[in-house]
Structure formats: structure tokens, C-alpha cells
Structure 1
Amino acid sequence: MKETEKLNITKSRELYEEALNFVPGGVLGARKPGDFIAGEYPIFLEKGQGCRLTDVDGNEFIDFLCGYGPIILGYREKEVDEAVYKQIKDKGFCFTLTQKFQNELAKKLTKIIPCSEMSIFLKTGSDATTASIRIARAHTNKLKVMRCGYHGWHDWCIEMKGGIPSKFYEDVFEFQYNNLAQLEELMATHGENTAAIIMTPFGHPNHQKMQTPAPGFLEGVRKIADKYGAVLIYDEIRTCFRLTMGGAQELYGVTPDLTVLGKAMGNGYPISVVTGKKNIMMAAESKLFISSTFFPNSEAFVAALKTIEILERDNVLEDIWKKGKGFMKNIQALIDKHDVGAELTGVAPMFYITFKKDETGAYKGKRKDFYTQMIRKGFFFTPFHHAYICYRHTQRDLDLTLNAMDESLTFIKDKY
């Protein structure tokens, strides 16, 4: 099988070299070249439309990263953007006091999210997860936290500890998804002083296969939280408004005390939420302080309200599940056909192709080659993060992707 020609990313490289003089590392976080495949992926993007991206060199891609999750409808979604434009043009969006959209969105969430009775609105997922921990600690007057999953970049939860005193995270303990015994052991030691158990109810650990909850796992965590009087928090930044409107808690039927929302709710506009039971949320009234100049900005509220309207009106998630199920079935057929150690995990709206680890380390080469061929062919995935399907992916887009996967897996089979 012939290797696909490498992309021209000259302008991306030039911008990156320039950025190194002004921004530490050129670009930050999970957008660094090393978080993709250095030398193969664009570093700077120019525009997006629907499910397609164009980089600064003019290369076009069918995108499956969706901005790392916020794009549930599509890029430059006309109805959403026009609602925001109208708000900005006619009334403005940044004021000293709050606008009515806060109330409208909070009421809407009580109808959609099983645990929602009261809400606090913020900007980022890290804002919201950190606020949820502060609320739980203030409500329980306890200190310790059990965590499962990625919850952002703040001091208490980030894996890279540079610049963070150990006392800021010494009371936070990690347990693995679907490992109820591990949580039980931790709680047997720390349970009486545990304020919160925060977890992703659907397993999407960094750089690893995705997991659905084992029978009894979520129910078991709920019972442990109740036994010790800990606040159960679901981090549904990625899953709510994508797995179902009400998130994994609706899909799996286990309700937490608090939920953290973000990403797909605003179709790319910056908004996040802590929502949950009134008796716990009320700790934020007088026991703690949460505030930002930009938290009440109304453009993101307007975007969220319009996005939710479209999701409900057009049965968007039903469409995504239907397309995604067929897509995943066909991907699995290709994996079975080529037998090169590829693995498919996840569910229809969010999935991940990994490669089985082996003693020789060949899986790393296969992974690099597969995703290199895909980006060269014009399909935007990453080796180190799961993929998403958005509303604007058409069946033709998915069929083109399957054809590219077939060719890429053939290349790997021939090479290895």
C-alpha cells in the first residue's frame, strides 16, 4: 500500500516558530505539536464550517475532535451565532449586573438534568469542577476528595504538579473507573472526612480505552457516597448534551448530588455550570465565594439556550446516535478485516481507536502510522484523545472516513 503524501504545513510551522518567541512553548496545553504527531499535523487553524476545518496552509479536514468536545452541532452554526450577534448588537453582553438569561437557563436545566434544582454558571470546565469541590467541602465541613477521571488544570486535580505545593492536593485521592473495591478501600480509611466523590460517570481516561460502567459500578459508588455522607459529583463536561440531553446520569439511571456541565451545551461558546440539589447548592449563598467579571456575560447564555433549543427541536442526539452506531459497526468490521491490533471503544457519539499494547512496543508505531495516514488524507483525529461525532457530519463524510481508515489499516498491515 502506497504511503499518503505528507501535508504542506509551512505556514503553520512559521507561525509556531514565531510563537515560540512570545508564548511559552508556542501554544499551550493539549494543542502542542507533541499532543498530536509532530511534523504531521497543522498547528494553526484558519476556519471551520459544519464538520470541516481549514488550516492556515489551506488544507481541509473532516474534523472528529470538535474543538475537544464543545462542537455538538457544527462550526459557525448559523442560528446560534445569529442569536449571539443579535444580543451583542442590540443589547450588549458584559455588564455590572446579571441579565435575565441566567434564570431562563437555570430553569431549563431543571427540566433536563435529573439532579438539577439550582445552578451556578461559570466559564470553563476547570472553573466548574473546582467550584463543585468548594461547594461540597462547605456543605459537609469535610476536607478529603475521591476523584476518578480528568477534571481540569487546577491545583487540586492536575496530573502535572509543577508549581503546585503538595498541600494543595494531599487530601485528594484517585480511584480507577470500574474499580469499586479500590474506592471502598479508600473510603474505609478516609470516608468519615470525605467531602466529595467526583467522577466521570462514563469512562474516558486520557490516552486509554473508553469504558462503559460495569454492572453495579455507578450504583455502588452512589451507595458508598450515601454511607459516608459524601457529596457525589458527576463530571459531565463531555457527556451531557451528547450521550443524552440529561447526560450519563439519565442514560444509566443513577443520579448524583451535583453535576458539572459544559462543552456541548454552548456549541463552542464559553460556559460551564455546577448544578444540583438545593440543600447542597445553597452552601454557595453564604459559606463560600464564587465570582468573576465574566461569569454573567450573556452571549454564552444566549448561545446555550439556542443550542439546547436546536438539540431538542431537531432530535439532534437521536440523529448522532443513529449515524454513530452504523459508523462504529463499520469501523469494527474494518478492524476485524485487517487484524493489526486496533481496538475500538466508546459509544456512538464519542469513540476511540487505540492499538493493543505489546512487549515489542510495535503498537506505538502502528498508532503513529495510522493517525499519520489519516491526517494526511484529510481526517482530523488525534492518537491521544477520543473522537466525537457532531450533527453536521453527513453519511457521506462518514463513508469517506471509513474508506480512509480502510486504506490506513491496509498500509499498517502491509508495513508490519
Structure 2
Amino acid sequence: MKLAEKLNISNSQALFEEALTLIPGGVLGARKPTDFIDGEYPIFLESGNGCRLMDVDGNEYIDFLCGYGPIILGYREPEIDDAVYAQIRDKGFCFTLSQKYQNLLAKKLKELVPSSEMSIFLKTGSDATTAAIRIARAHTNKLKVMRCGYHGWHDWCVEMKGGIPAKFYEDVFEFQYNRLDQLEALMAVHGQDTAAIIMTPFGHPNHQKMQTPAPGFLEGVRDLADRYGAVLVYDEIRTGFRLSMGGAQKRYGVTPDLSVLGKAIANGYPISVVTGKQEVMMAAAHKLFISSTFFPNSEAFVAALKTIEILERDHVLEDIWEKGEKFMAAIQALMDKHQVGAELTGVAPMFYITFEKDDAGAYKNKRNDFYTQLIRKGFFFTPHHHAYISYRHTQADLDLALTAIDESLVFVKEKYS
């Protein structure tokens, strides 16, 4: 049993100790050391290029987190960055009024996304999901919300309830992906008062195996929304411009009333979108208020337009699907060979390696050992979040990752045999 050498992350740890005196918890959200494997993963990064990261201690990694999803092409993409630099240098990007790029991007979304007729542009996924719920409530004059998936950190949906009065989320009810029966039961009770059903059209629940839609599931949800007059909202923050150019709704052929987009649309620049049917979207013109100083900033619009141009021109998603399917097939073959309880779920652009749960909880130790070996070998996966394939992952990169996965599975097999 060969244990990979532990990384030197002393500079990361020193920066974290300093950060604890400056930032509550040192770092926020899903970037805490405990969201990885404490003591094994870097906490601060220095740079990125293509599909590679460098941490503050000089360790290099082939990255499969992609900034938690925005990096669809690669880090430091010259075409995108040059377009943004030119916008900042030649025209500016933060003004009292809007620039034309909002219209250009809205028209492009109408071409690509089945549900898109009108759009509102924001900055983060949480901004957009919250705006979508506000629009749905204003349009329907109803209150209750049915939800499935992760929808951000705002009061109505965040998992940790500290600082949030219960009345802010008491009208929000959760159902599980592929459990149409749960939604049917909820709608039988609350359907007449339901403003929105918001869901991820592809199942990627936090810390759990990924799921593709069961036959009839998405169609069943669509039928329930229509039956009760609720607005169907797809949270495509992760799946938009990754599963297809039109998102999961295009791939699976079921169109919502509203869609929420973000992450991969601009290859890392901060922008999110609520887009959908004109009849529903027009509630935002007269019945509610959505505004921010920075929502109209044009540098992210320019980045999104250039990203979409490259995705279409270079057939990026076709490339990601092709190499991702081969990569997943090779991973599955290794799992079948070593039989350590590892499980592979997801689709080619976004997949997850988990371990089969057992009553004694040994799967947690297997999982942590497996991912410890990978990070020590220079491959940035995480045990608590699914992985992504980017355009800049070459076949050579993926072959190196397969070797590391093979060796890490062997380590687990020998340790727990």
C-alpha cells in the first residue's frame, strides 16, 4: 500500500491563520477547509491557466472543480479576457445607464434557450433564483413555493437558518428529485396557493449522487405546474451552457416558464440571468422592483457574448461530451475492477465519484482516503461536490487523472481489504 506524499501547504495555512483574525471563519461558504479534507487541501490559490491551478505554496493541480462550475473553457482565456480589457479600456463598463450589450445578450439567449423570450441580468445565482421566485409570485398573486435542488444563500431557501425568521421560509416546501409522488402530494395540499415550482432539471443534490430524469418525471412536473397555474422555474445555474447550449431543458425536451442561468455563461465573469416567457417576465416591469448598481455593468455581458461565440464556433460542448463520456467509461471500468464500493454518477460534462454508504460509516473513511490520494497526486477533485470537465482538459490530462484514480482505488482496496 503506497501512500502518496503529503503536500506542503504551509503558506496556505499561514494565510488562513491570518484570515481568521480578519474574516469570520477565515473564508466563507463552500471554500472552508472543512468542505474539503482539512489539512490536505490548499486554502489559498495563486493562479490558474487552462485546466491547471497553482496554490500559494507552488503546488500544481489539474483542476476538476472549475471554480465550482463557471470555467467551461479554461482559466485565463485570452479571447475572453482581451474582449473585456478592450471594453474597459476603450468604452468603460460601469455607468448610470445601460449599454447595448444587454440587448445583444438577451437576443442571443432567445436563439439558444427554449424558454427565453425576455431576460433580466443580475450577478449571482442566488440573485437570479430569488428574482425568479419574486417574479412568479407577482405574476400569479400566489405565495407558496415547491423546490427541488440547491437555490442559493437567500432567506427563502438557504439550508442553514441562522439569522432568518421562520416566516421567511414557512411557505417553501421541498421535494426530492425524481420523486413525482412527493410533489403530487404537496400540490394536492398547497397547489391552489402555489406560485412556483423551482427545480434543477438535472439532479445534482448537495453531497449526494447525481441523477438524470426518470422517464416521465420532468413531463409530470410540467403537467402539475399547468394544472395548478404555477410558474415552472428551472434552476440551470450549473447545467446551462454545459449540458447543451440550451441547457438541460433543450437536452431533455421539457420547457419551463422561467429559467435561471449563470456560471458557465461567461467563463468566470460574474453574471446571472432570469429568462423566460414574456407573459410571466412582464411582471418585473410593473409589479416588483429589481435593481443593483452593478447589474448593468457591461464587462460581464461582453465576456458572456464572447464565451458563447467560442462555445458555438469551436463546438466546445460536443468536445466535452465526447471526451467526458470516454473518461467516465474508463473510470467505471476501474471501479468494476477494484470493487471498493465506489460509485460513479452524472453525465459527461459533470460527474461525481462517491462511495456506497454503510451502517458503520466506513464509506466516509474510504472516501476521504481516496480523495486525499488524489489531491496529493495533484488532481483537484473534492469529496463533497461533483466534478466538471472543461474544454482545456486534454486527453493527456484525463489519462493522467485515470492513472491517479486507478492508484487511489488500489490504495483504498489494500487498506480496507
3-state DSSP of counterpart to 1:295: coil
> Which residue is 1:221 aligned to?
221
3-state DSSP of counterpart to 1:205: coil
Cα separation, 1, equivalents of 2:177 and 2:404: 33
Find out whether 1:308 has 2:311 as its counterpart.
no
Structure 1 vs Structure 2 CA RMSD: 0.3
Find out whether 1:175 has 2:170 as its counterpart.
no
Aligned residue runs from structure 1 range 221-300, under 5 A: 221-300=221-300
Find out whether 1:408 has 2:408 as its counterpart.
yes
Aligned residue runs from structure 1 range 132-147, under 5 A: 132-147=132-147
Q: Please report how far the alpha carbon of residue 50 of structure 1 lies from its aligned counterpart in structure 2 after TM superposition.
A: 0.2
> Which residue is 1:57 aligned to?
57
Q: Please report how far the alpha carbon of residue 360 of structure 1 lies from its aligned counterpart in structure 2 after TM superposition.
A: 1.6
Cα separation, 2, equivalents of 1:300 and 1:280: 25
> Which residue is 1:107 aligned to?
107
- Could you give the per-residue CA deviations for residues 314-372 of structure 1, whole angstroms, max 9, x where no partner exists? 00000000000000000000000100000000000000000000122110000000000
Cα separation, 1, equivalents of 2:150 and 2:405: 29
> Which residue is 2:90 aligned to?
90
> Which residue is 1:358 aligned to?
358
3-state DSSP of counterpart to 2:399: helix
> Which residue is 2:206 aligned to?
206
Cα separation, 2, equivalents of 1:292 and 1:359: 49
Cα separation, 1, equivalents of 2:242 and 2:348: 10
- Could you give the per-residue CA deviations for residues 96-145 of structure 1, whole angstroms, max 9, x where no partner exists? 00000000000000000001000000000000000000000000000000
Amino acid across the alignment from 1:177: Y
> Which residue is 1:28 aligned to?
28
Runs of 4+ in 1 over 4 A off after TM superposition: none
Amino acid across the alignment from 1:27: V
Cα separation, 2, equivalents of 1:361 and 1:228: 42
3-state DSSP of counterpart to 2:53: strand
Find out whether 1:377 has 2:385 as its counterpart.
no
3-state DSSP of counterpart to 2:343: strand
3-state DSSP of counterpart to 2:254: coil
| Aligned residues with identical type, % of pairs | 81
Cα separation, 2, equivalents of 1:182 and 1:214: 14
> Which residue is 1:48 aligned to?
48
Q: Please report how far the alpha carbon of residue 387 of structure 1 lies from its aligned counterpart in structure 2 after TM superposition.
A: 0.2
- Could you give the per-residue CA deviations for residues 172-193 of structure 1, whole angstroms, max 9, x where no partner exists? 0000000000000000000000
Cα separation, 1, equivalents of 2:233 and 2:15: 41
3-state DSSP of counterpart to 1:409: helix
Q: Please report how far the alpha carbon of residue 302 of structure 1 lies from its aligned counterpart in structure 2 after TM superposition.
A: 0.1
Amino acid across the alignment from 2:252: Y
Amino acid across the alignment from 2:191: G
Cα separation, 1, equivalents of 2:241 and 2:159: 27
Amino acid across the alignment from 2:109: L
- Could you give the per-residue CA deviations for residues 73-97 of structure 1, whole angstroms, max 9, x where no partner exists? 0000010000000000001100000
- Could you give the per-residue CA deviations for residues 39-76 of structure 1, whole angstroms, max 9, x where no partner exists? 00000000000000000000000000000000000000
Q: Please report how far the alpha carbon of residue 266 of structure 1 lies from its aligned counterpart in structure 2 after TM superposition.
A: 0.5
Amino acid across the alignment from 1:12: S
Q: Please report how far the alpha carbon of residue 378 of structure 1 lies from its aligned counterpart in structure 2 after TM superposition.
A: 0.1
Structure 2 gap segments, 5+ residues each? none
Amino acid across the alignment from 1:316: V
Find out whether 1:332 has 2:313 as its counterpart.
no
Amino acid across the alignment from 1:333: A
TM-score of the aligned structures, taking structure 1 as reference length: 1.00
3-state DSSP of counterpart to 2:353: strand
> Which residue is 1:399 aligned to?
399
Amino acid across the alignment from 2:62: I
Cα separation, 2, equivalents of 1:116 and 1:243: 17
Structure 1 gap segments, 5+ residues each? none
3-state DSSP of counterpart to 2:400: helix
Cα separation, 2, equivalents of 1:171 and 1:259: 21
3-state DSSP of counterpart to 2:47: strand
Q: When the two structures are aligned, how many residues end up with a matched partner?
A: 416
3-state DSSP of counterpart to 2:352: strand
